[in-house]
Amino acid sequence: MKKAKIYIPSKTAMQSGRGKTKKWLLVYESEQNFMNPLMGWESSTDTLQEVKIEFETKEQAVEYAKKNNINFEIQKPKKRKMIIKSYADNFINK
């Protein structure tokens, strides 16, 4: 049975905005990983772990998973803690 996780990706360190953090992703998980004896890195023969499917809403992702008999786990997005400060706060010693 296939297993997947459904989540909203967090922004990367290279992003200043939140442009790619609005869509829900369905990503397959694989347990068929093994150590490559030649190079020493982790390898897999499961190509499904490379598949990432985007959805506009969480409900669409859940419906897709149920329709295709995919076991899934939903990871709820973490709330961002906004610290609002002015530019002058950078120069005030506290």
The strand pair at 24-29 and 3-7 is best described as antiparallel
**Confidence at residue 15, expressed as pLDDT on a 0 to 100 scale:** 67
Domain ranges of the chain: 3-11+20-35+43-91
Per the CB < 8 A criterion, the answer to whether 78 and 8 are in contact is no
Beta strand 71-74 with 3-7: parallel, antiparallel or unpaired? parallel
Q: What is the pLDDT of residue 20?
A: 67
Architecture, CATH, for domain 3-11+20-35+43-91: 2-Layer Sandwich (3.30)
What's residue 4's pLDDT? Answer: 92
The mean per-residue pLDDT over the stretch 16-21 comes to: 70
List, for residues 25-82, the tens digit of each pLDDT value. Answer: 999 887 778 888 888 888 877 788 788 999 999 999 999 999 999 999 999 988 778 7
DSSP 29-73: E---EEE-TTT-SEEES-GGGG-EEEESSHHHHHHHHHHTT-EEE
